[in-house]
């Protein structure tokens, strides 16, 4: 209807212009109509301009509509009725189309914001790598993983592990691989999964990196606890009656010895010699039996104490966490540790940065594992000639680059053999002749209970350092 009206208005203006042209032609063909010719020429020119203006108004509105769509300018409105173009409904349609496009666009943006919010809160780090090696970090988890380290290209991954970029580029879509990396002096075990994303203009690999360091440590600890629980249960069931019988045998042998000494004296010389000989032989046999039974009893008691010590690995109570000043903790630990160190010429140095550092822990548990580590450091210094090299132990606390509290116990002993470092926190494993292999395993368990971890490394010069990261 609007188009028919527009055509009618165009036709009317065109007919009027043609009539004016006819009259102008007639006036030119007759002499003496100069004023009429001038007037008709002006009218004809004005009519042509009116036709052009009338058409251009509609074209301008069309151009404005398409520009608004192209530039997503949804604030434009099209009121063509006031312009007399005859496209009243067309203007309303243009306005309605823009409103619908705006509504769809707003819905898409809201959905995109929702998807981005979900991705940002996914606990698994997500990143993508395109064909040029450009890295895009998609959520908070991956940004927390890399911390303040700049990661914009695949080559930047080499700062965490030299083989890390090669492993990421080599993983195929649908595959999973385990990667060990170190970020800000903290070890991470990552399961990396890859997915290929192909769009019309780009192709990239989406990688998810799940850190299983703590889960792996907890699973390993649970496996050891289950094993220790079974072993201690079976050993205790077997050794308890043995220890009881050994003690009973000791009591019986001692009772026989006492009764033998109380035998009556025989007057018959021959019988007396025979009785004396039998008594001496019986006494010797009883002494041998007593020694053997005492050895069994002593070893049974030792084995029971040994098993009892391992039960602590499976019966560690939940930590009672409270706010604790590191300075207070160090003062208590240093006072207990220094009691036997003065005669051994061991120098203990404590440093805290910042001085007012505090954290939320179970003070009894942390104090005990620090005492164990200091005792291990003391044992590591037994072979040092204090007249040549001063025996030193350092106890320090600080905040790492991630803001975690770190406590380190260092010594200047001979260090730890490389082959022992990987096994040193495993229950039952010990390098000491009289060690039980419980102390460091218990330290690891206490740190896991505090959502932390314990690591060990050899120093650049001499000795080793145990780090507790909370």
pLDDT of residue 405: 92
pLDDT of residue 430: 64
For 94-115, how does the pLDDT look when each residue is reduced to its tens digit (9 = 90+)?
677 777 877 888 888 888 888 8
pLDDT of residue 409: 92
Which residue has 């010895």 as its token pair?
Answer: 257
pLDDT of residue 427: 63
* pLDDT tens for the chain, residues 1 to 470: 454 565 676 778 788 878 888 887 887 787 777 788 788 888 888 888 877 777 666 666 666 766 766 666 666 665 655 555 455 566 667 677 777 877 888 888 888 888 888 888 888 889 988 888 888 898 888 888 888 888 889 888 888 888 888 888 888 888 888 888 888 877 888 888 888 888 767 788 888 888 776 666 666 666 666 656 655 655 655 566 666 666 666 666 666 656 555 555 555 555 556 556 656 656 665 666 666 666 666 666 656 665 665 555 556 677 888 999 999 999 888 888 877 666 667 888 889 988 889 999 988 888 888 988 988 888 888 777 666 677 888 899 999 888 889 999 998 888 888 777 777 776 655 666 555 566 787 888 888 888 888 888 888 888 889 999 99
Least Cα distance to 146 among 168, 120, 118, 127 occurs for 127
pLDDT of residue 397: 92
pLDDT of residue 408: 93
Q: Has this prediction a pTM greater than 0.75?
A: no
């Amino acid at each position: 209807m609007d188009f028919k009206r527009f055509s009618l208005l165009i036709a009317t203006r065109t007919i009027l212009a043609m009539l004016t042209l006819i009259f102008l032609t007639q006036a030119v063909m007759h002499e003496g109509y100069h004023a009429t010719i001038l007037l008709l020429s002006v009218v004809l020119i004005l009519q042509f301009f009116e036709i052009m203006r009338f058409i251009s108004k509609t074209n301008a509105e069309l151009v404005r509509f398409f520009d608004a769509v192209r530039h997503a300018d949804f604030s434009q409105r099209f009121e063509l009725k006031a312009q007399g173009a005859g496209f009243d409904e067309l203007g309303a349609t243009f306005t309605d189309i823009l409103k619908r496009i705006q509504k769809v666009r707003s819905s898409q943006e809201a959905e995109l914001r929702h998807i981005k919010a979900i991705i940002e809160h996914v606990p698994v780090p997500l990143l993508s790598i395109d064909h040029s090696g450009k890295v895009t970090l998609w959520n908070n988890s991956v940004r927390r993983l890399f911390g303040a380290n700049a990661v914009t290209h695949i080559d930047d991954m080499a700062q965490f592990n030299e083989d890390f970029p090669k492993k990421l580029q080599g993983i195929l879509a649908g595959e999973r691989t385990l990667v060990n990396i170190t970020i800000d002096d903290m070890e991470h075990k990552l399961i990396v999964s890859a997915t290929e994303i192909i769009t019309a203009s780009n192709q990239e690999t989406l990688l998810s990196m799940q850190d299983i360091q703590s889960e792996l440590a907890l699973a390993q600890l649970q496996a050891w606890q289950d094993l220790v629980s079974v072993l201690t249960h079976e050993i205790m069931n077997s050794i308890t009656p043995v220890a009881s019988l050994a003690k009973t045998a000791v009591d019986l042998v001692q009772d026989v010895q006492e009764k033998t000494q109380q035998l009556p004296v025989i007057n018959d010389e021959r019988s007396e010699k025979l009785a004396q000989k039998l008594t001496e032989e019986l006494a010797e046999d009883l002494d041998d039996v007593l020694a053997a039974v005492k050895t069994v009893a002593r070893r049974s008691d030792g084995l029971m104490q040994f098993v009892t010590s391992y039960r602590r690995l499976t019966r560690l109570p939940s930590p009672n966490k409270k706010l604790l000043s590191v300075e207070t903790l160090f003062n208590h630990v240093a006072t207990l540790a220094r009691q036997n160190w003065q005669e051994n010429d061991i120098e203990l140095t404590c440093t805290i940065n910042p001085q007012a550092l505090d954290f939320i822990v179970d003070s009894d548990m942390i104090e005990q594992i620090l005492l164990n580590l200091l005792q291990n450091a003391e044992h590591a210094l037994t072979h040092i000639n204090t007249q040549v090299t001063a025996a030193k132990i350092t106890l320090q606390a600080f905040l790492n680059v991630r803001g975690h509290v770190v406590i380190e116990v260092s010594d200047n002993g001979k260090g730890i053999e490389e082959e022992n470092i990987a096994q040193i926190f495993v229950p039952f494993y010990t390098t000491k002749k009289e060690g039980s292999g419980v102390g460091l395993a218990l330290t690891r368990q206490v740190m896991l209970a505090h959502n932390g971890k314990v690591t060990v490394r050899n120093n650049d010069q001499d000795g080793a350092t145990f780090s507790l990261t909370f």
